[in-house]
Structure 1
Amino acid sequence: MDHEHNVASENQCFKKTQIVSVTSVSPVKITEPRQVCRILFNGETDNQKIHAIRKIQGCYHVVLYYESVKEKHHDWSLTGWIVESLARTLLDHPLLAGRIQERNDATGFEIVSNDPGIRLLEARCSNTLSEFLELNKKERDDHDHETELVFWNEIDAQFPRFSPLFYVQMTNFISGGYSIGISCSLLLTDLLVVKKFLNKWAQTYNMIPSISNKEIDTPIFNYLDSKNPKFLSSEDLNNHSQHKNRVQSVGFKITTKDVNLSKELWRELATVCIEEAEKKLEMKIGSSFSLVVKESLEVIEVESVTKSGIENQIVCITSWDDFGVDEVVFHEENKVVHVSCWIGLVADGLVMIFPCIEENVCGVIVVAPS
């Protein structure tokens, strides 16, 4: 009997997830006035715009795993509640539901909160949650199964206005349990506020039944659980996140109190963090890299940089773990059982800096080329 059990365990294998449905979620109200974030490509000419767009490819993935909730009708209504809570949360984060477009004055690109929506996918996995976590842990070096739980298509370099900047994938495991996979363009990913956004989303999710004077028994967006769901063909959806492994990355949180913020500082800071990242990753990232600085909610600057000398203005460097999202709860008393965060689909060396002047800190991500 034990021998049969061991053989069954050895033959246990991962079963690919299948997409059941795809929809778009926009803010519940039209965004007025529209928010605009300019993307400035320093040193680029009109003939290099497509090349410039390629410099800002890549995304930030987060996967949160939850056990099943033992409540009547909760499983089939979960995605519906997710849709409603997302639509309400996007009121405070409308750029996530926006698109990149060329500026009217032809001076570059901008992200506009024009409300075409984020993409929401529902998927099924034929493994149990515990099986999936165990298999992914064992086979991580050879097969990164977690890419099945997130969806991402790169920004179209020629027609960026048609490319969503934010994807959410809800994956249900057999015998209960689910994951929420988030993919966000690196242009919109500010690691100092990602956790705030997720917590706001979860808070809204948990408050929806009390928003109305009368109790809401079912969500407006009712995704009935079908015993025979119609899976979408892989030819219908081109998920690039499943075809490329995550790249290596290191995150830092830097204290900048009493420091003069300037372009020179950003370049020096990038050099310092690259050297730290090279030590942690035990590899050379190179002397040239792309630098993306999210100067404010209205401006993102992108430029090519070569390592330079360092004037040590950096007060403190802490780790990627400071940006954790392991306390996000989408249902009362249903804590996260596992969280994964990683950067994907970046071809060249990249440093991203997210200043937060109010808190005297900067978030920095160094991405090693794949």
Structure 2
Amino acid sequence: MAATATTLVHVESKQTAVPTLVTGAGRTLPITVPSGPPLTAAALQRRFRAVLYYGGAGDAEQQQQVEEERAAWVKESLSAALTDHPKMAGRLRRRRGGGDQDDEGLWEVKLNDNGVRLVLASVDMSMTAFLEAKDLQSKEAALALWTDVDWQEPEFCAPFFMQLTRFQDGGYAIGACCSLLLADPLSLVDFLKAWARTHAKMQAQMNHVAPAVIQYTRYFQSPGAARRLKSVPLDSCSAAVAPTTVLFRAAAAADAQDRHALAAACLDQAVEKLGSNAKKPPRFAVLAADGGSSGGMTVARTCDYVWDGETTAPPSRSRHALRAAYWHEVGLGEIALDGSEPVHVSCSVVSPCADEGLVVVMPAASGDDLFISATVPN
């Protein structure tokens, strides 16, 4: 009996999209770690992943033309959008302390215009079949490939990847994978919205140089003509055990201590909601965007988790009125490309710290409340 053919993911190109204008030299955004141990190598890999699926062109001739030009459009518009969002093109690095040596406990984002890593890929599968897969979430790592940030030399590693993947039926996916130390999920979504607006504006104005199209079309020609950097089985890209994330909304916390209690309350409710599908973590970390002018990120030290043995939560936790929230509320489903909104959107928080919970606290667009993700191990 013949063996079932293995579905392959083909990486056809790895490029870098850099801002079209230079960012002011020396600009940095702080990553504040108030107390506790330095960030670990695993903590650097905490990231948010979003995958947006779009349908293909109507007929074969139109589909061929779109595939030939899409890669060039994506890179050109991405470079233009980065001009107004220089943080997304920056790099993580250690800050220098009082001496000449780097301080392991101090980190920052250097706005150095190093750019976003852009991956062009294809899958030997139709988008329809891919979306119908029972283990869809585990396979989506192949649509938003990630390379770990090197703890020793982080400044040489991109903390933000975008990937354009085409399917055999003409559908395609835009995958975005971003370190949570660079941007929280809402900040990443805001950037993707800005990029989509720039993309549409450039297409409408035809602000594009013809030779650039020719430069990149070779990546989306027939499979035999494209030079593939590597081809790997689809299942090999899957994460072994993916954590589970529950979303909440709450009134803005007044201070860091109140924020810690809010984070603990979110984890309490997340574990209760998930039941046997979640494991109570012995400790947790809290990430929060700096509400001030710095635009940086605050990483609360990893805290030992004290679980309440009673049926009700402690007063410091229970006084927070938490409301259920969902990823569709952030507007990813409204990001239109080539005149069409996505047919499906998927989001996930990826954390390799198997024994830790992770809470990301984000100011909502209204400014009066918070959007909170609580991620617990399975």
| Mapped pair 1:226 → 2:221 | yes
One-letter identity of the residue aligned with 1:338: H
Query: In 1, Cα distance between the equivalents of 2:48 and 2:247?
Result: 12
Query: In 1, Cα distance between the equivalents of 2:7 and 2:365?
Result: 46
2:286 to 291, 307, 315: 291
Classify 1:356/1:174 alpha carbon distance in 2 versus 1 (closer, same or farther; 3 Å).
closer
Tell me the CA shift for residue 96 of structure 1.
1.3
Query: In 2, Cα distance between the equivalents of 1:240 and 1:344?
Result: 17
What SS does structure 1 have at the residue aligned with 2:230?
coil
Alignment check: 8 A CA contact 1:58 1:154 kept = no
Classify 1:94/1:217 alpha carbon distance in 2 versus 1 (closer, same or farther; 3 Å).
closer
| Mapped pair 1:171 → 2:177 | no
Tell me the CA shift for residue 357 of structure 1.
8.9
Q: For each residue in 1:110-168, what CA deviation from the matched residue of structure 2 results, as whole angstroms up to 9, or x when unmatched?
A: 1111111111111111111112222x2x345xx83222111112221111111111101
One-letter identity of the residue aligned with 1:18: H
Query: In 2, Cα distance between the equivalents of 1:246 and 1:218?
Result: 43
Q: For each residue in 1:39-72, what CA deviation from the matched residue of structure 2 results, as whole angstroms up to 9, or x when unmatched?
A: 222334xxx64x5343342211111111112436
Alignment check: 8 A CA contact 2:138 2:239 kept = no
Could you tell me which residue of structure 2 aligns to residue 58 of structure 1? 46
What are the ranges of 5 or more consecutive residues in structure 1 without an aligned counterpart? 1-6
Instruction: State percent identity of aligned pairs.
Output: 25
Alignment check: 8 A CA contact 2:48 2:184 kept = no
Could you tell me which residue of structure 2 aligns to residue 3 of structure 1? none
Listed as ranges, the matches of 1:303-318 within 5 Å are 303-307=301-305, 309-311=314-316, 312-318=318-324
Alignment check: 8 A CA contact 1:295 1:355 kept = no
Listed as ranges, the matches of 1:31-110 within 5 Å are 31-32=23-24, 35-44=27-36, 49=38, 51-70=39-58, 71=62, 73-105=65-97, 106-107=102-103, 108-110=106-108
Classify 1:218/1:327 alpha carbon distance in 2 versus 1 (closer, same or farther; 3 Å).
farther
Classify 1:56/1:269 alpha carbon distance in 2 versus 1 (closer, same or farther; 3 Å).
farther
Classify 1:360/1:173 alpha carbon distance in 2 versus 1 (closer, same or farther; 3 Å).
same
Could you tell me which residue of structure 1 aligns to residue 335 of structure 2? 328
Tell me the CA shift for residue 361 of structure 1.
1.5
| Mapped pair 1:349 → 2:344 | no
1:19 to 4, 11, 21: 11
Alignment check: 8 A CA contact 2:25 2:112 kept = no
Alignment check: 8 A CA contact 1:255 1:317 kept = no
Alignment check: 8 A CA contact 2:91 2:110 kept = yes
Could you tell me which residue of structure 2 aligns to residue 340 of structure 1? 346
One-letter identity of the residue aligned with 1:285: K
What are the ranges of 5 or more consecutive residues in structure 2 without an aligned counterpart? 307-313
Tell me the CA shift for residue 98 of structure 1.
0.7
What SS does structure 2 have at the residue aligned with 1:39?
strand
Classify 1:91/1:149 alpha carbon distance in 2 versus 1 (closer, same or farther; 3 Å).
same
| Mapped pair 1:272 → 2:265 | yes
Q: How many residues align?
A: 345
Alignment check: 8 A CA contact 1:288 1:304 kept = yes
Query: In 2, Cα distance between the equivalents of 1:20 and 1:305?
Result: 43
One-letter identity of the residue aligned with 1:116: N
Q: For each residue in 1:84-107, what CA deviation from the matched residue of structure 2 results, as whole angstroms up to 9, or x when unmatched?
A: 111111112211111111112244
What SS does structure 2 have at the residue aligned with 1:231?
coil
Tell me the CA shift for residue 218 of structure 1.
4.2
Query: In 1, Cα distance between the equivalents of 2:5 and 2:288?
Result: 43
Listed as ranges, the matches of 1:179-194 within 5 Å are 179-194=173-188
One-letter identity of the residue aligned with 2:140: E
For normalisation by structure 1, the TM-score amounts to 0.83
Query: In 2, Cα distance between the equivalents of 1:264 and 1:183?
Result: 30
Single out whichever of 176-185 and 25-34 deviates more from structure 2: 25-34
Tell me the CA shift for residue 242 of structure 1.
3.9
Tell me how large the CA RMSD over aligned residues is: 2.9
1:365 to 356, 368, 373: 373
Alignment check: 8 A CA contact 1:66 1:177 kept = yes
Query: In 2, Cα distance between the equivalents of 1:52 and 1:325?
Result: 31
Classify 1:243/1:313 alpha carbon distance in 2 versus 1 (closer, same or farther; 3 Å).
closer
Query: In 1, Cα distance between the equivalents of 2:204 and 2:303?
Result: 51
What SS does structure 2 have at the residue aligned with 1:73?
helix
Alignment check: 8 A CA contact 2:8 2:124 kept = yes
Alignment check: 8 A CA contact 1:272 1:310 kept = no
Tell me the CA shift for residue 202 of structure 1.
0.9
Single out whichever of 263-272 and 105-114 deviates more from structure 2: 105-114
Alignment check: 8 A CA contact 1:244 1:345 kept = no
